[in-house]
């Protein structure tokens, strides 16, 4: 892919056979291939073991604007970070494979860069279309705890997996995140850290970047990887770690 790409799209992938068989990447290709700007799509595989890596290899052979980045199993935060550091586009988006926020929503976010913003993030606000009450409760609880422990009170939805950055901003932020976590370590089982997005945006605010939160369409997609109790405790611990790192001056 040319280094002159206008847009890079980074999609983490861990055992995503079901979504791949639904044609989620075909939807991305169908949308982007009709754009006048150049693009690349990086599928950052997180050590998948369900056969999806082989399916990805076949897909990228047939679609030259797509490529895979193979990682050991680092968790979603590690897979996203590795992909973002590989991206060459003028603007770099990371999004989820399940298309809960469809790729078409990028059209709502890109215009804000012409208004001087460095980062534009998708926001579901208080809407959680189709989500069970447990997910809504978790989301509102996370917002409450995040505002008390960490802050970022001017952003309502830090967790929407649809965020786009200027390339230079992405390189600086994700290089620092990568360093904070020592390049990320191998994990076992599914690992989706609620603290990743909070830490990323907290660091961005500390570095003085202009962040725009823009409403996007979002539809709940069922996943076996969410455990309300375990993930709520993990999210709380992540927030405490961020606060401790902040007190130590890590984000200055």
pLDDT in tens, 54-82: 999 999 999 999 999 999 999 999 999 99
Q: pLDDT tier at 218 (50, 70, 90 boundaries)?
A: confident
In degrees, rounded to 5, the angle at the alpha carbon of residue 100 between the alpha carbons of residues 94 and 105 is: 60
Residues whose CB is less than 8 angstroms from the CB of residue 238 and which lie 6 or more positions away in sequence, other chains included: 193, 194, 195, 196, 198, 199
Res 228 pLDDT > 60? no
The pTM score is 0.86
Kindly list the domain boundaries of the chain, sorted by start residue: 7-247
Q: pLDDT tier at 15 (50, 70, 90 boundaries)?
A: very high
**What is the secondary structure of 24-92 as a DSSP string?**
HHHHHHHHHTTSSS-EEEEEEEE---SSHHHHHHHHHHH-TTEEEEEE-S--HHHHHHHHHHH--SSEE
Residues whose CB is less than 8 angstroms from the CB of residue 12 and which lie 6 or more positions away in sequence, other chains included: 44, 46, 76, 79, 80, 83, 94, 96, 97
Q: What is the mean pLDDT of the chain?
A: 86
Predicted local confidence at residue 2, as pLDDT: 46
Q: pLDDT tier at 1 (50, 70, 90 boundaries)?
A: very low
pLDDT, mean of residues 131-156: 67
Predicted local confidence at residue 219, as pLDDT: 81
Q: What is the pLDDT of residues 119-130, one digit of tens each?
A: 999 998 655 555
Separation CA 217–CA 103 (nearest Å): 10
Separation CA 168–CA 147 (nearest Å): 28
- Identify the CATH class of 7-247: alpha beta
Res 184 pLDDT > 60? yes
pLDDT > 70 in the chain, percent? 82
pLDDT, mean of residues 115-121: 98
Predicted local confidence at residue 173, as pLDDT: 97
Predicted local confidence at residue 247, as pLDDT: 86
Question: Which own/partner pairs from 241-245 qualify as long-range (CB within 8 Å, at least 24 positions apart)?
Answer: 241/195, 242/149, 242/150, 242/195, 242/198, 242/199, 242/202, 243/149, 243/150, 245/180, 245/199
Token look-up 């799209």 returns 9
């Amino acid at each position: 892919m040319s280094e002159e790409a206008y847009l890079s799209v980074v999609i983490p992938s861990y055992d995503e056979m079901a979504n791949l068989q639904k044609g989620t990447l075909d939807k991305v290709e169908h949308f982007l291939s009709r754009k006048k700007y150049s693009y690349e799509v990086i599928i950052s595989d997180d050590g998948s073991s369900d056969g999806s890596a082989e399916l990805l290899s076949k897909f990228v052979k047939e679609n030259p604007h797509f490529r895979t980045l193979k990682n050991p199993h680092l968790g979603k935060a590690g897979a996203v970070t590795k992909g973002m550091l590989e991206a060459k586009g003028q603007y770099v988006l990371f999004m989820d494979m399940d298309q809960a926020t469809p790729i078409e929503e990028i059209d709502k976010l890109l215009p804000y860069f012409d208004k001087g913003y460095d980062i534009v993030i998708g926001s579901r606000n208080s809407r959680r279309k189709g989500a069970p009450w447990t997910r809504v409760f978790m989301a509102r609880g996370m917002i409450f705890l995040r505002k008390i422990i960490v802050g970022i009170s001017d952003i309502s939805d830090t967790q929407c997996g649809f965020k786009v950055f200027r390339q230079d901003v992405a390189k600086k932020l994700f290089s620092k995140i990568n360093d904070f976590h020592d390049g990320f370590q191998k994990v076992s089982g599914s690992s989706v850290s609620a603290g990743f997005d909070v830490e990323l945006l907290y660091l961005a605010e500390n570095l003085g970047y202009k962040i725009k939160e823009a409403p996007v369409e979002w539809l709940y997609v069922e996943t076996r990887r969410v455990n309300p109790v375990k993930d709520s405790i993990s999210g709380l611990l992540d927030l405490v770690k961020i606060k401790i790192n902040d007190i130590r001056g890590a984000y200055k």
